Structure 1
Amino acid sequence: MDTDDLTESTAIREDRLWHDNGWMARVIKNEDDDGWAVAMFKDGEAEPALVGPWTMGRDKKNPKPLDQTAFNTLIKTASEVLQRHAQQAHAALHKQLTVFVNDQQWDIKLDITPDEDAPFATLSAINDEGSLVAQVRVRPDFKLTSATASAWIQNDFPAPETRED
């Protein structure tokens, strides 16, 4: 069966292949040793969200068959992995810190826009009243630190110099 054609409404419950609720679990031969592994795919994704070891069956040669409890646990674990990846990606593109300059608290944000042709970032300053005071475009590799944020504020929020590579 071509698993690319599976839809969310297609439920499969075989010993080595389960598909339901937008997920597919496939038990595969572990390439690293004599054991087995299970790969979890979210519908529509070409790469597995999770690959992990799978238990041997009673004969110590074949894999243990998939069952509902194992499938549910695998869905939960794979979903958590995807959620952590999304959080890490978000954190890499959106940075924030708080500095105290001129007896005032400032929240400084750096939001990176990862464009394939022309990536850039936006540096923003929010005062302690919650008002956006300044916003400038910066290079996507701008290093946001307490020192760079404080200097930016003390120099009245100039647009950082950009260099052409």
Structure 2
Amino acid sequence: MANAELSFAREPSPTSDQKSELAVTLVLLALTAQRVLRVADKFDAWTPTLGACHENVRRWVESHSAHKAVRGWLDVSFLALPPARRFTAHSVVADEHGDLFDVTLGASDPGCTFIRHPGSDEDFFYYAFTPGEHTIEYVPPVQAIR
């Protein structure tokens, strides 16, 4: 993960237009988002670190070679004032069949839908690891609210 963090730091930061475009894309992708099985509390030998989904996924994938990290966004719009939409950077795991599961959240955590990041991992890492950038909010233009 350290190498990934270093590589995104050399890329230029997204412009405000690119961030707005990502927000609109996430709103559209939310229409087909899926619920991911939350399993963090299902394994006796697994203790995730709260608030560290990217690190938890890295640790999981290191010890389960057939699994891979999947980068994306949780739709946490219940935290936004309507009609705004809010998304937070999140990582989950894909098993050998491509089925997704969450090793950070457990059954009692909110069941938010997950949207795969529409860009590269490097693009995602910018948002995930830059302070203040891990949440994307979309507020529709005033003329769209009627």
Return the TM-score normalized by structure 1. 0.23
Structure with more of its chain in helix, by fraction? 2
Larger radius of gyration: 1
Return the TM-score normalized by structure 2. 0.25
Higher RCO (C-alpha 8 Å, min separation 6): 2
Structure with more of its chain in strand, by fraction? 1
